[in-house]
Structure 1
Amino acid sequence: MRYKRFGKTNVNLSIFSLGTMRCLASESVFNNTLETGISLGINHLETARGYGKSEQFLGHFLQQQTLVSREELYITTKLTPTPDAELMAQWIDESLERLKLDYIDCVAIHGINTWEHLQWITRPNGCFLPLQRALHQRKIRHIGFSTHGSLELILAAIETDLFEFINLHYYYFFQRNEPAIALAAQKDMGIFIISPGDKGGLLFTPSTLLQELCSPLSPLELSYRFLLSDQRITTLSAGMSEAKEFNSIISMFEGNNRLTPEESKKLNQLEEHLNTVLTTEKCSQCYQCLPCPESINIPEILRLRNLAVAYDMNNYGQYRYGMLENAGHWFPGNKGHRCTDCGECLPRCPENLEIPKLLNDTHQRLKGTTRRRLWE
């Protein structure tokens, strides 16, 4: 296992972290998954107050495990932003109690997703104050944040200089947040990429076409290599549902070196294939179509269409599209069938896309079934 400095925290984390949201089928599955991960060299375990029994299971596990000392493990938990500062203080103590720890290495504000969330944190007597107090009391060691918000909001949160690390969505198939990667690295923040196998494209179960395009690497391996070769990134979340899933990534544990010529060639071929298949219907994700008067998440819908048409990533598209209108600020915006053909987006599109037509087409392709976030 390779280890990297987690920005200004100066903690050395394994290049893969173990998220504990997906291995909650039972406490025995949870324990077996964590034991396997730690035995393979993973030293960073991530949970959240909102992940069902995850904190409780992790607390039991930490008390009984004998693989490594407490000082050799780094624990992150996440607490949602709140307008009630004293509630945040209460949550910190409750997490410590559930985790059965004297201190938590890293606490992230879980989901700075709206401008209001950021105001709750930065205003006088806001919910950041109890986190600072806990930091001074040595109940926690480092403070960061996770986000599903807009790029503009993410950059603003980084610019507050309140945080030592960021948990961020950034993948080969979603590179919108690259400027946030750049700014966080400039400020020496630790950068933790969350859910690259799942929200990065359902890459544990890729389409046959995507497998063929990425061969001899798997789509999961190629996506991980894209991220691991970026020297700004510290660690990737490996959200395993059971221990045997580690088999798909063990070969990557030593790999955070630059892309090989073959890997670069494969990534270029993926881009060429996208351009060839979509031709004049490709959305380049400039976001100039927003705002939409019907609050339709146009860029995300057209991104999902890009992937479905070019790579047969229909399962992923249905998974993500089904969350629109069902996940609130975690995945905001309305679905494509809400389009009224008002035409406001059309003159703003530099590619002259027939956006209403493409929105309707995407809805027919991906409407599937309603989805909610996993930990709900």
Structure 2
Amino acid sequence: MQRLERTRSGRRTEAQHGLSARELRETLDEVGICTWSLDPANGRVAISENCHAILGVSARRLTDHDAFQAVVHPEDRAGRAAAVRGALEHGGRYNIEYRVCQADGAIRWVRSHGRAELGRGTRPTRFRGIVYCIDAHRRAEARLQRLQADLIHVSRLSAMGEMASALAHELNQPLGAISNYTTACDHFLSEPGNEQIEAARSALAAAARQAQRAGGIIRRLRDFVTRGETDRRSESVAGLLEDACDLALVGSRAQGVETRIDPGPPGIRVLADRVQIQQVLVNLIRNACEAMRDSACRNLAIVAAAQDDGSVCISVSDTGPGVAEAVAESLFLPFVTTKSTGMGVGLSVSRSIVQAHGGTFRVDSPATGGATFHFTLPAAED
């Protein structure tokens, strides 16, 4: 009997120290959390009065599921309806983010959590949860993404600045050839005759090819430095490597760099933003060429291979001095560089790009010497 009294006394003490229903409502109102419940039997909704501050609609209007759906942004209605339906059919938790359209025209992001309880059999008996505003969080995320995009763009411009001399030399070759061919045409056409006309046509055709070559270099430069929105799509690995190498290997032959490119199995593709992944490749290839500047053997290998986990691994290997273990630990930190010039953001930005694509980025020093940088990208479905 005494144990029962102590238990009852303990329960009374616990109730005295707990929050009352009124205090709980006031606390939720203060922190901006709206509570809701749905009766699965008739579809009726009960929602706390503070929903107006979060959803922009009074509780009197949100009487059923359809009324609630009406305040959801049109683009998000199907996703929310599917989440609610899934919770009601299978039980368990419900967690989704969506936008709501308020009466004044403002659009606000909210997050909703809920839980459906199943009774005997498979019919749900209770479905309730909370809604709260995450608009400030979403704005902060968007601002961070803009800042990251700015840094990525600055990194591309920095890479182009470092390559400016070699690119100017590369462009000067086709432009000089065009000048020579057009001078030859003028000479051939100064003495009319079938042979001279055919020679002029041949020179003009050669000039056109050189113009296309110069135009291709300029196009790749323009695409590389143009600032645009992230656009991930199915991309050919062979195409990515070809375009990146056309930029990054400018002047490498004059430095005695021997390059081997293996794009992997024919038709292999990845889901990627083409310009951003080219930026990663250009940075790694240029770093490799620079690392081999004082090496007697200058072999560069760029290899792609499909992985068992549904990703594609791209590796860039050089025969330079390698990466010391002490340096490797801080190599990917922003503004850390082993170059005498440069911003020190190339590898940091490259890793950020790869991780944003859902891939991994690492470096190792093979026993044979040099360094190998590996990064993975999700394979694109056929």
Q: TM-score, normalised by structure 2?
A: 0.22
Structure richer in strand, relative to its length: 2
Structure richer in helix, relative to its length: 2
Considering Cα pairs closer than 8 Å and 6+ residues apart, tell me whether 1 or 2 has the greater RCO: 1
Q: TM-score, normalised by structure 1?
A: 0.22
